Amino acid sequence: MSARLALTAVAALAAAGFVRRSAPSGSRKTVQYKILPSEGEGGLDEYENEALDLLDEVNIKASPEESLVFVAVRGRDQVIGALFASDEDDGDEPKRRFTVAVSPDHQRKLIGYELVRALEESTSELAAERGHPIMLEAWVVNPHMASLLRREDLGFDEGYRGWSQDDPMMHKWVG
């Protein structure tokens, strides 16, 4: 089963009101947004250019193999977060690599967290269908994203040397 089909299973969550509200610490201003999954052929095509522009804006490079699988959208069409991912399955260690970008105006409001949780949920469903765990893996260059992935409820591993910009890989087995 392809990653696109697995992500379609998450579409029901989005349709059921996967709407998030966040506010930075000490702020009373709430940001309303929704997480949209890629579903079917051309699922997020209308957001692709904005998501790619967002990567440029925050100076993050997604792997050429990665495609847009989730967006955080504010209002009708303002992309404030994007998650790109690719599947690598050599049989022994299936992996889903991902890259997250959040608009500078909306960083530190848990939007990146919600995008990673959505990916984790879809990966968990795929792992259950396949009957074996799948590794989520990220090349993390932003210290704030490294802190977010270290959260107990996400639980990404930084390897035996710990995370640093010289050793930026973080991973987690799901399923």
Q: What digits encode the pLDDT tens for the residues 53-72?
A: 999 999 999 999 999 999 99
Q: What is the pLDDT of residues 2-42, one digit of tens each?
A: 444 344 434 433 443 444 544 444 454 677 999 999 876 76
Q: Domain containing 47 — which CATH number?
A: 3.40.630.30
Query: Any idea which of 39-43, 110-114, 148-152 has the lowest mean pLDDT?
Result: 39-43
Whether residue 118 is predicted with pLDDT greater than 90 in this model: the reply is: yes
**Overall number of domains in the chain:** 1
Q: Percent of the chain having pLDDT more than 70?
A: 81
Distance in angstroms (rounded) separating the CA atoms of residues 146 and 132: 26
- For the entire predicted model, the pTM comes to 0.81
In this prediction, residue 158 carries a pLDDT of 83
The domain in which residue 40 lies consists of 3-174
Nearest residue to 139 (alpha-carbon basis) of 119, 167, 105, 114: 167
In this prediction, residue 29 carries a pLDDT of 62
Spell out the residues 6+ positions from residue 7 whose beta carbon is closer than 8 angstroms to its own: 37, 38, 39, 69, 70, 122
Spell out the residues 6+ positions from residue 171 whose beta carbon is closer than 8 angstroms to its own: 135, 136, 137, 138, 156, 157
